[in-house]
């Protein structure tokens, strides 16, 4: 049986430990990136719309929705929501509760007023 001296063991442990630590850090970063999709880390408790004009979707839509649904709701990759046939109540329910692979978006990330304003624009 081959025996390793303590210097060899320490060297192998350090290299393997660094590799494992890097791998775990990479996996953790990847998971956080995937979880963050569709959610916003900034909290806005105000119930005022964040639109600059009545023809522009809110910045909350941009933060919480545009990465999957496109900046104007016409994504061809995920569900197109421009021209939605959902009622406002159904639309809000999908946003607040999530549906399928879509994560729920809480009122802290997307105010009710902005959600209503964006729904009106997307309904057109």
Write down the domain spans for the chain: 1-36, 39-123
What is the predicted pLDDT for the residue at 42?
Answer: 45
Say what percent of the chain tops pLDDT 90: 21
Q: How confident is the model at residue 53 (pLDDT cuts 50, 70, 90)?
A: very low
List pLDDT tens digits, range 73-96.
898 888 889 999 999 999 999 999
Instruction: Indicate the fold that domain 39-123 takes in CATH.
Output: Cytochrome Bc1 Complex; Chain D, domain 2 (1.10.760)
Q: How confident is the model at residue 62 (pLDDT cuts 50, 70, 90)?
A: confident
Mean per-residue pLDDT for 60-65?
A: 88
Q: What's the alpha-carbon Rg for the chain, to the nearest Å?
A: 23
What is the spatial distance between Cα 22 and Cα 97, in angstroms, rounded to a whole number?
35
User: Exposed, middle or buried, 107 (CB in 10 Å: 0-12/13-18/19+)?
Assistant: middle
List pLDDT tens digits, range 10-38.
554 566 666 676 676 667 666 655 555 54
């Amino acid at each position: 049986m081959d025996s390793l001296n303590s210097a060899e063991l320490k060297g192998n442990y350090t290299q393997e430990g660094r590799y494992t630590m890097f791998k775990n850090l990479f996996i953790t970063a990847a998971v956080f990136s995937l979880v963050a999709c569709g959610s916003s880390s900034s909290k806005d408790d105000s119930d005022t719309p964040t639109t600059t004009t009545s023809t522009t979707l809110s910045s909350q839509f941009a933060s919480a929705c545009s990465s999957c649904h496109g900046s104007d709701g016409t994504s061809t990759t995920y569900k197109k929501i421009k021209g939605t046939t959902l009622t406002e109540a159904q639309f809000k329910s999908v946003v607040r509760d999530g549906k399928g692979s879509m994560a729920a978006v809480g009122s802290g990330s997307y105010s009710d007023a902005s959600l209503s304003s964006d729904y009106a624009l997307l309904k057109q």
